[in-house]
Each structure stands twice: as structure tokens, then as C-alpha cells.
Amino acid sequence: MPTQVLTPTLGQMVTVDPSPLKIEATLSLWQALNAMTAAAKSYALVSCAQTPTGIFTYEHVTQAIADGANFEKTTLGDWMTPLDRLRPSFDIHIEGEPSPAYLTGAPGLPVVNSSGHWVGLLTPEGVYTLPNEAEFCHGCLIHLNHCHQTSAALVAHQNHLTLALKGARMGTLDWDLATQTVTVSEELETLLGMAPGEFEGDFHSLFKHVHTEDREYVYQALQQALHHRQRYAIDFRVTQPNGTVRWLLSQGQGFGDSALTSRLAGVTLDISAQKQAETELILQAQRERLVGEIAQRIRTLLDLDSILQQTVISVREFIEADRVIILQCTADMSGKVIQESCAPDYPAMMGWEVRDPWSVDEKFLAHYRQGRGLGVANIYEQGLSKDQLLFLEYFRIQAEVVVPLLQEDTLWGLL
């Protein structure tokens, strides 16, 4: 195909390059530079799925070097000049009308100067080149304004996300293995039992307040997720500075193409209330099972003594108490121990009459007649007399739970 000569108004001779170098936008800068060197070209037409999308020149290479771009990982699509940025040029014109057949089937042919440098693109509508400085600055202003709007939208989105995480008491974790940095939110510091700013920035300091029995399990779960780029979901305990234990649920995933570029991100929330509810359900199920077992055993027994004996044994096993007794209320409302189950190293109370205030005081008896129980956490905080304390200390009693046994509306005894 003959080369047509174009003459810009400044008199510089330009020509159409009939065999331009065409490369894909997915190539790296390094691959593009090698292709241009091998083809002895100072530019390349960049295509995406074989559709021309941009121009790449040595000016782009120079700018990429100045900006410190990674030539092996950065693609042409990040550095080329898109074709839609080109504008009609009135400084370059063709002497005579170019043949329409010359561009048949071609989206545009590159125009180069005598040194082989790209100066524009010839199309049926004329020559298109980079915008002049004024147009370029205007485009930059539009682009900067768009960037500003995008940045403002991102800030607003980040603020909404931060408020949502705070409202849900949810903490975030970001562990970047490549840079060996761990970033946590203030909410996560609080959940992990730390004061704001206490986190030291390294992975191991995350486990400062994790319960000692859970620490290894949590560590291994996070390591597995990070190095194998997989999901994780773990619940564990954290000991707060005041000594209370909270349950946390942490969920997230490892990301990256290799172990060296792995990254782990996740969220953590407090599930103590949920764990408490689960515990209550388990205890309720155990209580129902105990009642069922006692009822089943009672059906096989014929006498009251055997029934009561089986009851104290089952209750002590269930609540893991040192001692369970049944007091039968006498006429003078004292209490006599008629059944007992206790640990082998405890002195027996069987047959003794108990006269502690929780068993004989009318105030408590009226309480029991209403079917209500009583709990005593510490006998030394109840203002008991010396004799009463000596009696309880002899049987090694430090705390009690009392449950009334009613026969219709009559107080029959105490468990």
C-alpha cells in the first residue's frame, strides 16, 4: 500500500504507518516495552479483546519510570492514552483527498513524523491527536472534580460503615502478611479487653486477653485462614480487665495469590448474651431430664423413704453439690434431716435437727409456704450468732440453696 504524505501547517512531514504494532491492554509494561523494541516502534496501538482502545508511547514509559511503576505487574491499561481522549487536529492536514478505500475496515491508522514518533490517528473524519494544552487542562479539571466527588462519596460511605460497626459493637481486623502489619478498629480493642490505643500493632498482642484455654485454638484458626486463603468462624472467650469473661465470635477470610501476599480480614462481635441463652437452654433441658429420671425411678419404688433417697442422690449429681438433705418440718417447726446424700469426706447430718434461721424462722417459713425458694451465698454475711456459725462450720456448710416441699398448701419439708 503506498504511503500517503501528510503536511502539518508547521511544515513538518508526517506519514501514515501502514503496519502499526498492535498489542493487548492486558500485557505488562515490561512486555509492551519488549514488543516495541523488537518491532523497532516508538509506540503501539493498544487493544482490548482485539478492539482498539488506546495509544502507548515512550512518553508513557518515561512517566511510568518517574512514578516508580512496577513494570512486571502494571498493565498497559493503567498507562495508555484512551482513544476517546483524542481530539480533531486542525494543525495536520492531508494534501489532496485520501482514498476512502485506504481506511476501509480500519478503525484508524497511526500518523508518525519523520523520526517514527506517533503524532495522531488518521480516520475517515480526519486526523485525531492529543488535545491541546487548554483542552487537556480542562479535561484534568473535570477529572479532578470527578475524583473529588468520588473521594467525598468514599468518605461518606466510610463514615456510614464506621457508625454501623459501632452501633453493632462489631470490631474489624486487617492482617497484611506482605507488610507484616495488623490493623484493628477501636471496637475490636474494646472487645478484646484492651484500652483504646493499647494494641501494639503485632499479631501476637491480639491474644493478650484471650482466655488461656482458647488462645492456641484461635491462633491456629487464624493462621490456617491466612496461609490457605480460606474462611474462618470461631467463638472464644476473652477475660476483661475487671475479671469478667465475655464470649466473642470472629468471622473472616484469608485472601491473596500466594502465602507471601496473603491478607486476612474479618469482623468480631460480642455473643455473650447468646451464649448465656444457650447455657440456659442446656440447663433447662438438664432439669427436664432430671425431673423425668426422678419420675421414672419413683414409679418403680413403693415406699416414701426410697423415693426421697433417690431424690437427694439425683439432685446432688445434677447440681454437683457437696451435700443435699431433706428436712421434715416437725410440729414445733424445727427441721429433722430424714434423707441425705453427701460427699464421702463430709460429716453426716442424717437424724440431726437443724435450727438455723433459714429453717425455723417464721419469716422464712412464710416465704416457703408461698412455694418460693431461698439462696444464701455466704453464711458469714448473714449476721448469725456464734452457736449458729459453729453448727454450720461443723458440717462444713458455707452456702445454701433451700427449696420448699409442699403437700397441697402445707409446708411438709425443705430440700
Q: Assign residue 203 the CATH number of its domain.
A: 3.30.450.20
176 & 228 share domain? yes
Provide the pLDDT for residue 265.
80
Averaged pLDDT, 57-74: 81
Provide the pLDDT for residue 3.
39
Confidence at 352, pLDDT banded by 50, 70, 90: confident
Is there a domain that residue 149 lies in?
no
125 & 11 share domain? yes
Closest by CA position to 336, among listed 324, 325, 322: 325
Side chain identity at residue 267, one-letter code = V
106 & 185 share domain? no
11 & 122 share domain? yes
Averaged pLDDT, 261-281: 80
333 & 252 share domain? no
Residues 206-237 pLDDT 10s: 788 888 888 888 888 888 888 888 888 888 88
| Length reported for the chain | 415
Q: Are the C-beta atoms of 129 and 121 separated by less than 8 Å? A: yes
Is there a domain that residue 246 lies in?
yes
Neighbours of 57 (CB within 10 A): 18
179 & 236 share domain? yes
Q: The domain spanning residue 336 has which CATH number?
A: 3.30.450.40
204 vs 238, residue with greater confidence: 238
Q: Is the dihedral of CA 56, 57, 58, 62 positive or negative?
A: negative
Confidence at 95, pLDDT banded by 50, 70, 90: very low
129 vs 299, residue with greater confidence: 129
197 vs 141, residue with greater confidence: 197
Cβ-count burial 180-197 (b if 16+ within 10 Å, e if not):
eebebbbbbbbbbbbeee
Provide the pLDDT for residue 259.
60
Averaged pLDDT, 33-56: 85
Please check the confidence at residue 168 and state whether its pLDDT lies above 80. no
Q: Which of 95-109, 177-191, 220-234 is least confident? A: 95-109
Confidence at 246, pLDDT banded by 50, 70, 90: confident
Is there a domain that residue 351 lies in?
yes
Report residue 30 as a C-alpha cell: 515490561
Neighbours of 98 (CB within 10 A): 16
Among 208, 238, 270, the domain-final residue is: 270
123 & 173 share domain? no
Provide the pLDDT for residue 144.
56
Provide the pLDDT for residue 298.
55
Provide the pLDDT for residue 97.
46
103 & 205 share domain? no
Averaged pLDDT, 67-88: 84
Distance between CA atoms of 196 and 211, rounded to whole angstroms?
Answer: 20
Q: The domain spanning residue 36 has which CATH number?
A: 3.90.1280.20
Q: What is the pTM of this model?
A: 0.43
Provide the pLDDT for residue 7.
42
Is there a domain that residue 11 lies in?
yes
Provide the pLDDT for residue 5.
40
Is there a domain that residue 312 lies in?
no
Neighbours of 136 (CB within 10 A): 13
Provide the pLDDT for residue 96.
43
261 & 324 share domain? no
125 & 173 share domain? no
Among 75, 110, 130, the domain-final residue is: 130
Please check the confidence at residue 92 and state whether its pLDDT lies above 80. no
Largest CA distance in the chain: 131
Provide the pLDDT for residue 1.
35
Residues 298-309 pLDDT 10s: 556 557 777 788
126 & 17 share domain? yes
Among 252, 270, 288, the domain-final residue is: 270
Provide the pLDDT for residue 377.
79
Domain that residue 217 falls in? 169-270
Is there a domain that residue 141 lies in?
no
Host H or E run for residue 375: strand 374-376
Which residues lie below 8 Å from residue 244, measured CB to CB, with a gap of 6+? none
Could you give the number of structural domains in the chain? 3
Provide the pLDDT for residue 15.
77
Give percent above pLDDT 70 in the chain. Answer: 76
Provide the pLDDT for residue 173.
78
Provide the pLDDT for residue 242.
84
105 & 181 share domain? no
Please check the confidence at residue 9 and state whether its pLDDT lies above 50. no
Confidence at 50, pLDDT banded by 50, 70, 90: confident
Is there a domain that residue 201 lies in?
yes
Residues 378-412 pLDDT 10s: 888 878 888 888 888 888 888 888 888 777 777 77
Provide the pLDDT for residue 169.
66
Residues 319-339 pLDDT 10s: 778 888 888 877 666 678 888
Distance of CA 262 to the CA centre of its chain: 16
Closest by CA position to 125, among listed 183, 179, 83: 83
Confidence at 285, pLDDT banded by 50, 70, 90: confident
Is there a domain that residue 182 lies in?
yes
Residues 144-166 pLDDT 10s: 566 566 666 655 555 555 555 56
Q: Count of H helices and E strands in the chain?
A: 10, 23
